[in-house]
Amino acid sequence: MRISTKGRLATTTALATIGLIAGMIWWANQEVEDASGRRRQTTELTRGLTELRLVTFEYMLHRHERPRQQEREVTERLARLIDASPFSGAGQREVLDHLREHSAAAHRLFEELAATPGADGANTADAESTRRFEAQLSSRLLILQQESLADAFRLTDFSAERINAAQQRVVIVILAGLALIALTTGGAAWLINRKVLAPIKRLEEATREVAAGNWNYKLDLAGDDEIADMSRNFDAMTHSLRTSFAQIERSNQELAALNQEIEAFSYSVSHDLRGPLRSMDGFSLALLEDYGDKLDDEAKDSLQRIRAASQRMGRLIDELLGLSRVTRAELKLKPVNLSEIAREIADTLAQQQPPRAVQWQIEEGLMVHADKALLQIAMQNLLENAWKFTGKVDEPVIRVGATERDGKQEYFVADNGVGFDMVYADRLFGAFQRLHHESEFPGTGIGLAIVQRVIRRHEGTIRVEAKPGLGAAFFFQLREQSHG
Amino acid sequence: MQNPQARAGAVAAITVMIVVAVALAYASGSGMFTKPAAPIEKLGIALATTPDAALLHIAAAKGYFAEEGLAVTLTLVSHGKVALDLLARGQADLASAADAPFVISVLKGERLGIAATVVNVPNEMAIVARRDRGIAAPHDLLGKRIGVTLGTNGEYFLWAFLIRHKLAPDSVTLVDMPPGRMAQELASGTIDAVSTWEPIRSKAHAALADNARTFTGADAYTATQVVVGRSEFLKARPGAVERLMRALLKAEAFNRSQPQQALEIVADRLKLEPKGLLESGWKDFQLKVDLRQSQLVTLEDQARWAMARGYADQGPVPNFLLHLHLDALLAVLPERVTVVH
């Protein structure tokens, strides 16, 4: 059964239980109120009978009209009370019938007594008869009224019994309701624990296991509720992740092997090419030196060109080897003072070309967590580029600093040199890509490729902003050091 | 306890236990658990073969005496006065009789007590008269010969009936005879009327057929049957008397719930046809175990009658409260005792 269905069922059961208990309490309360009403009426009846007894005695003592009139009134009131009585049980009806009969008989006897002339004026025999008659009537009246009172008390007892029974029912209903609620609560707690909380605990264990890297953990919960569905989905997810990771692992291994092969190939190619180049340059130089006097100018020029081309190719190979080393070198991360590196490179460049008056603005205290040797290579390339492309500016300025972008620290190397059109920006970091002719600004076109590779090895990013004639600025971020 | 589910379960279990404990305490307090049985007690009861002793007959027939741990020996007699004689001679522990002979016994010095009233019948007593003797109204009884069993409530009823109709009690001639002879004597014409109870009254009426004229007097006297014992006995054997009260109350409840079966039981034990018993006013028999304050008034009236009739010397009316044994009924069903005490 679904948890949602169970929830609805539990809610319905709880509401039905509460409704049932409320209904039973209402019913029992009605019983109490009904019984109380009956008791009030029997109290009225008892009061009427007591009053009747009082006025009967008063009449017997003084034979006045006033108590006789009161006796009639009370008798009529009693008759109305008896007729309006709500008692319906067989025993109660029997008592009411007695009351009705006794009340009528008592009134009849009272009227006979009132109609009997006194014995004073009669002869002795008649006087004795009358005296006995009156005595008998009085006794019968007493008996009837006493029995009526006893009957009224019986009705009071019936009412009290009914109230007691109703109160007992209220107690039983409340006890039964409490037991029902306790059982329902216990049952619900047991069910929730067994069907919901225990599976959720297993699910939580499973997520912990998977978070710890145990991709083979399997939940395998049986059932047809939401948690069982979730368990099946969880198992499917871990299965899918296992497959994906295996694929990624295989691809990584293949890529690493391929990279290694490419690196080895490019290294051997670069290294092996240097021999023939050195021969070409060496033999050209030997020709110039040994047979220079026998060669005309055109031949000499050709040999010079061969030498220049060989040397340029040698530099290209050196750059390629450098790029390869950047890729293969092992990272040794530690705190590195970027400002200090920039300052040292600037000093070196200034010494190489003392006539150039470049204004250096290097922010102090720039600290990064990086491989110092690789970072030096990257900064060397960036600062040499800036130095080179400000060569034709009247007041060259090169800045090194840091700024914040999207909440992350970003470092920059900026200049006010020739700049370039941002349309060509995506070509900028490719090997041997150049935006200016070599005759204008010499270079191999591999420097920025090396910079990008260094930054990537630090799991960072690099971007550029430039405008023709206004300069260029290179911004880079490095992966922030984990504090854990 | 760390686990909230376990804690919730424990709370629920404790609640259930409390509820069950309260329910058990409630049940035990309401008398749902019965007490162990007490030893059987023997009782000898003398009672009349009249419908007035119906509750005793029903209790015997339904085995209620045995259920209450009583081994009862019933001695059947013709009428209550004879039962009281057996009690006086020590041949019975208890007797069932009308109130009039009980009053005479008390006036004669018997130390008796009423344990309970077992019936009230407003119209049981009657005077059955011969029409052919010119008897059509109560005053026609003047100067007539009326058969009664002296010292019984038959005689007392005649007295009360005459007074009710303002007639002098000594204006008629009483002829003493046992109840069994009344119908025959009336039919033969040796007497003009009889004053008696059921089933003699019905037999007398049947014997005269159309010639019968029956007078009742609910306003004059309500026939009452009482269970009487010697005062010493009632005090000495309270347990036995209480069991007797319980058995009689069971018989009363049976009559209320199964009136037809109760009628058949009584008719069988009195050797009457159920139809005949019904015709004799069975429905007016209020079979009920009680002790009422109003009864004291009747007992005192009967005492005055008994002294006037010479069954005892003239003197003050006895204190009948001393002759009502309230303890047993108070112990069993106190609301049935309305005597001021």
List, as one string, the DSSP characters of A423-481: GGGGGTTSTT--SS-TTTS---S-HHHHHHHHHHHTT-EEEEEEETTTEEEEEEE-PPP
Beta strands in B165-222 (DSSP E): 173-176, 193-196, 212-216
Q: What are phi and psi of B32, to 5 degrees?
A: -80, -15
Contact A267, A324 (CB under 8 A): yes
Lowest-confidence range among A97-111, B126-140, B238-252?
A: A97-111
Same domain, B112 and B249: yes
What are the residue boundaries of the structural domains of chain A, listed by start? 3-191, 221-328, 330-484
Q: Identify which of B22, B167, B298 has the shortest CB distance to residue A143.
A: B298
Q: Which range has the top average pLDDT, A14-23, A131-140, A430-439?
A: A131-140
How near does any CA of chain A get to the CA of B338, in Å? 7
Distance CA B86, CA B179 (A): 18
Q: Is A130 on the interface with B (CB under 8 A)?
A: yes
Q: What is the pLDDT of residue B120?
A: 92
Lowest-confidence range among A192-201, A294-303, B52-61, B310-319?
A: A192-201
Q: What percent of chain B has pLDDT over 90?
A: 76
Residue partners of A457: CB distance under 8 A and separation at least 6: A326, A327, A331, A371, A374
Q: Is A118 on the interface with B (CB under 8 A)?
A: no
- CATH number of the domain where residue B205 is located: 3.40.190.10
Q: At B17, is the pLDDT very low, low, confident or very high (cuts 50, 70, 90)?
A: low
Mean pLDDT for chain B overall: 89
Alpha carbon A256 to chain centroid, angstroms: 42
Q: At B126, is the pLDDT very low, low, confident or very high (cuts 50, 70, 90)?
A: very high
> Would you say residue B224 lies in a domain?
no
User: Has residue B19 got a pLDDT over 60?
Assistant: no
> Would you say residue B24 lies in a domain?
no
Same domain, B92 and B236: yes
Query: Inter-chain contact B23–A175, Cβ cutoff 8 Å?
Result: yes
User: Has residue B26 got a pLDDT over 60?
Assistant: no
Distance CA B255, CA B244 (A): 17
The predicted-structure confidence for B146-192, as pLDDT tens digits, reads as follows: 999 999 999 999 999 999 999 999 999 999 999 999 999 999 999 99
Same domain, B113 and B134: no
User: Has residue B210 got a pLDDT over 90?
Assistant: yes
- The Cβ of residue B11 has, within 10 Å, a number of other Cβ atoms equal to 14
Q: What is the pLDDT of residue B8?
A: 52
Q: Is A153 on the interface with B (CB under 8 A)?
A: yes
Looking at per-residue pLDDT, the higher value among A106 and A195 belongs to A106
Same domain, B97 and B79: yes
Contact A334, A372 (CB under 8 A): yes
Omega before residue B316 within 30° of 0, cis:
no
How many Cβ contacts (< 8 angstroms) between chains A and B? Answer: 88
Q: What is the pLDDT of residue A484?
A: 39
Q: What is the pLDDT of residue B24?
A: 57
Same domain, B171 and B236: no
Same domain, B251 and B312: yes
User: Has residue A77 got a pLDDT over 80?
Assistant: yes
Same domain, B279 and B300: yes
Query: Inter-chain contact A143–B15, Cβ cutoff 8 Å?
Result: no
Same domain, B300 and B318: yes
How near does any CA of chain A get to the CA of B286, in Å? 10
| Final residue of a structural domain among B216, B239, B270 | B216
Q: Is B309 helix (H, G, I), strand (E, B) or coil?
A: coil
Q: Identify which of A136, A146, A189 has the shortest CB distance to residue B12.
A: A189
Encoded tokens for B176: 């003493």
Q: Is A89 on the interface with B (CB under 8 A)?
A: no
Same domain, B47 and B195: no
Lowest-confidence range among A199-203, A442-446, B93-97?
A: A442-446
Q: What percent of chain B has pLDDT over 70?
A: 88
Question: Which CATH number describes the domain made up of A3-191?
Answer: 1.20.1440.210
Q: What is the pLDDT of residue B2?
A: 44
ipTM of the complex: 0.76
Q: Which is nearest to A98 in space by CA: A60, A159, A61, A49?
A: A49
- Can you say whether the dihedral through the CA atoms of A449, A451, A454, A457 is positive or negative? negative
Lowest-confidence range among A44-58, A456-470, B9-23?
A: B9-23
Encoded tokens for B68: 């209450």
The predicted-structure confidence for B75-85, as pLDDT tens digits, reads as follows: 999 899 999 99
- The DSSP-derived string for A298-357 is HHHHHHHHHHHHHHHHHHHHHHHHHHHHHHHSPP-EEEEEHHHHHHHHHHHHHHHSTT--
Q: Is A73 on the interface with B (CB under 8 A)?
A: no
Q: Is A475 on the interface with B (CB under 8 A)?
A: no
Contact A430, A304 (CB under 8 A): no
pLDDT mean over A176-182: 83
Interface test with B, best of A50, A132, A155, A181 (most B CBs within 10 A): A132
Q: For residue A189, which residues of chain B lie inside 8 Å, CB to CB?
A: 5, 8-9, 12
Distance CA A117, CA A129 (A): 12
Q: At A188, is the pLDDT very low, low, confident or very high (cuts 50, 70, 90)?
A: confident
Q: What percent of chain A has pLDDT over 90?
A: 29
Q: How deeply is A171 buried, as exposed, middle or buried, from its count of CB atoms within 10 A (0-12, 13-18, 19+)?
A: middle
User: Has residue A128 got a pLDDT over 50?
Assistant: yes
Q: Identify which of B22, B166, B293 has the shortest CB distance to residue A146.
A: B293
Q: Identify which of B9, B219, B292 has the shortest CB distance to residue A109.
A: B219
Q: Is A91 on the interface with B (CB under 8 A)?
A: yes
Q: Specify the CATH architecture of the domain A330-484.
A: 2-Layer Sandwich (3.30)
Looking at per-residue pLDDT, the higher value among B85 and B29 belongs to B85
> Would you say residue B151 lies in a domain?
yes
Q: For residue A182, which residues of chain B lie inside 8 Å, CB to CB?
A: 12, 15-16, 19
Same domain, B191 and B106: no
User: Has residue B63 got a pLDDT over 80?
Assistant: yes
Q: How many domains does chain B have?
A: 2
Query: Inter-chain contact A154–B335, Cβ cutoff 8 Å?
Result: yes
**pTM for the predicted model, two decimal places:** 0.61
> Would you say residue B26 lies in a domain?
no
The predicted-structure confidence for B258-287, as pLDDT tens digits, reads as follows: 999 999 999 999 888 777 766 667 888 999
Looking at per-residue pLDDT, the higher value among A431 and B339 belongs to B339
Residue partners of A479: CB distance under 8 A and separation at least 6: A458, A459, A460
Domain range for B72 is 41-118+230-284+292-336
Distance CA B36, CA A181 (A): 37
Q: Is A183 on the interface with B (CB under 8 A)?
A: yes
> Would you say residue B32 lies in a domain?
no
Distance CA A79, CA A408 (A): 102
Q: At A356, is the pLDDT very low, low, confident or very high (cuts 50, 70, 90)?
A: confident
Q: Which range has the top average pLDDT, A38-47, B32-41, B130-139?
A: B130-139
> Would you say residue B30 lies in a domain?
no
**Which positions in chain B have a beta carbon within 8 angstroms of at least one beta carbon in chain A?**
5, 8-9, 12-13, 15-16, 19-20, 22-23, 26, 30, 160, 163-164, 166-168, 218-220, 222, 256, 292-294, 297-298, 300-301, 335, 338
How near does any CA of chain A get to the CA of B150, in Å? 21
Q: For residue A186, which residues of chain B lie inside 8 Å, CB to CB?
A: 8-9, 12-13, 16
Lowest-confidence range among A175-189, B4-18, B82-96, B304-318?
A: B4-18
Interface test with B, best of A60, A129, A170, A194 (most B CBs within 10 A): A129
| Final residue of a structural domain among B172, B190, B216 | B216
Same domain, B113 and B133: no
Same domain, B167 and B144: yes
Query: Inter-chain contact B220–A178, Cβ cutoff 8 Å?
Result: no
Mean pLDDT for chain A overall: 86
Q: What is the pLDDT of residue B137?
A: 96
Distance CA A137, CA A143 (A): 10
Query: Inter-chain contact B9–A189, Cβ cutoff 8 Å?
Result: yes
Contact B122, B218 (CB under 8 A): yes
Distance CA B283, CA A199 (A): 75
Query: Inter-chain contact A147–B15, Cβ cutoff 8 Å?
Result: no
> Would you say residue B33 lies in a domain?
no
| Final residue of a structural domain among B216, B242, B258 | B216
Q: Identify which of B8, B293, B335 has the shortest CB distance to residue A157.
A: B335
Residue partners of B19: CB distance under 8 A and separation at least 6: A175, A178, A179, A182
Q: At A120, is the pLDDT very low, low, confident or very high (cuts 50, 70, 90)?
A: low
Q: Is A163 helix (H, G, I), strand (E, B) or coil?
A: helix
Lowest-confidence range among A26-30, A327-331, B77-81?
A: A327-331
Q: Is A34 on the interface with B (CB under 8 A)?
A: no
User: Has residue B204 got a pLDDT over 80?
Assistant: yes
The predicted-structure confidence for A293-313, as pLDDT tens digits, reads as follows: 888 989 889 899 899 888 888
User: Has residue B324 got a pLDDT over 90?
Assistant: yes
Query: Nearest residue on chain A to B15, judged by CA atoms?
Result: A182
pLDDT mean over B307-326: 94
